[in-house]
Amino acid sequence: MSSQPGYFAADAEADDELARLQIQATVHDPTTFRHFETIGVTEGWRCLEVGAGAGSVARWLAERVGPTGKVVAADIDPKYLDNLTGPTVEARRSDITRDDVERDSYDLVHSRLLLIHVTDPVDVLQRMTAAVCPGGWLVAEEPDNSVCGPVDRSHPLAEAWARYNQGFGECLAAAGVMDMRFGGILPARVESLGLVEMGTEGIARIFHGGDADSHMVIQAMQHIDGILLANGVLTESEIADARRAFEDPTFLYREALMQSVWGRKLPNG
Ligand SMILES: C[S@@+](CC[C@H](N)C(=O)[O-])C[C@H]1O[C@@H](n2cnc3c(N)ncnc32)[C@H](O)[C@@H]1O
């Protein structure tokens, strides 16, 4: 396996990557915001959004915490965060794996679809937790692809889809590009951080080929298929068959579970 460290879409065309991030946000934001409601995000909170992407979560937080709060939207490449403006919002270029983050400073530290992309997600979780103030919350949300699968295994494209999905997951994890299983172990990793009032929820959605979510996958495939081919995991024709499944509205599949986990730092620290 070749080693390909770094964010897999770092060299993507800016417009394509923005469109992909926006679809991701449309799918996952309502659940994320519901979790924020559950833990009680409110006016005056100081929030850190790590791996902020296109900024939709930071924007929601800024509105919620209002003029007395603060939101830092941090990303290794904050190119889509230019329009996050206002006296209480800061778009910050920051690599969470190495740059300093203020300790004990935030009422909420959140990340989504970030830990699967880093080499040492436990270290990143610890760094994020260190930034939470006493009594504050950590919320982390990551996918677990162990539940993925065709809804109808007798569909003519089911086998091609399943082969791609398995090859994709195993190859990218082995190559250090992304670990789509990390959401499965995330609750245990958060539990070991010593947080209290922990909560968990996992959602696995059903997508159709041809819908917006499948287009997001097809866009991501552009960055990934070269790795699958180079490592001999799949052939061009197997990749083409999988793409047909992602384009076919009669094909339904269960996407990766999105595992959300939250916990609170003890008020006395
Ligand atoms: C898949 S996107 C998710 C974006 C957003 N969190 C969401 O769920 O819509 C991952 C984001 O994490 C950022 N990222 C990747 N590695 C990072 C790192 N080491 N430090 C900070 N951000 C990182 C990427 O630039 C990208 O914006």
* Domain presence at residue 2: no
Q: What ligand 1 atom has the least distance to the C-alpha of 24?
A: 9
> Residue 200 falls within a domain, yes or no?
yes
> In whole angstroms, what separates CA 208 from the centre of its chain?
21
Task: Supply angle C-alpha 207, 213, 217, rounded to 5.
Answer: 105
Would you state the pLDDT for residue 136? 98
Q: Note whether residue 139 is domain-resident.
A: yes
- The total number of structural domains that make up the chain: 1
The answer to whether 138 touches 109, Cβ cutoff 8 Å, is: yes
Residue owning the nearest CA to atom 9 of ligand 1: 25
Residues lining ligand 1, CB < 6 A?
7, 21, 24-25, 28, 50-51, 53, 75-77, 95-97, 112-114, 117-118
Would you state the structure tokens that stand for residue 126, as one six-digit string? 């610890």
CA of 114 to the centre of ligand 1 (A): 5
Q: What CATH code is carried by the domain that includes residue 83? A: 3.40.50.150
What is the predicted pLDDT for the residue at 12?
67
**C-alpha span between 44 and 64 (Å, rounded):** 9
**Tens-level pLDDT at each residue, the chain (269 residues):** 333 346 766 766 778 888 889 989 999 999 999 999 999 999 999 999 999 999 999 999 999 999 999 999 999 999 999 989 889 999 999 999 999 999 999 999 999 999 999 999 999 999 999 999 999 999 999 999 999 999 999 999 999 999 999 988 888 888 888 999 999 999 999 999 999 999 999 999 999 999 988 988 888 888 888 888 988 889 999 999 999 999 999 999 999 999 999 999 998 76
Task: Give the chain's largest Cα–Cα span.
Answer: 58
Which ligand 1 atom sits nearest the alpha carbon of residue 98?
Answer: 19
Which domain does 114 fall in, by range? 14-264
Q: Which atom of ligand 1 is nearest to the CA of 96?
A: 20
In a domain, 188, yes or no: yes
Query: Is 207 part of any domain?
Result: yes
Residue 4 in any domain: the answer is no
CA 159 – ligand 1 centroid, Å? 31
The sign one gets for the Cα dihedral 97, 98, 100, 103 is: positive
Contact 144, 202 (CB under 8 A): yes
Residue 3 domain flag: no
Q: Across the strands, what pairs with 201?
A: 260
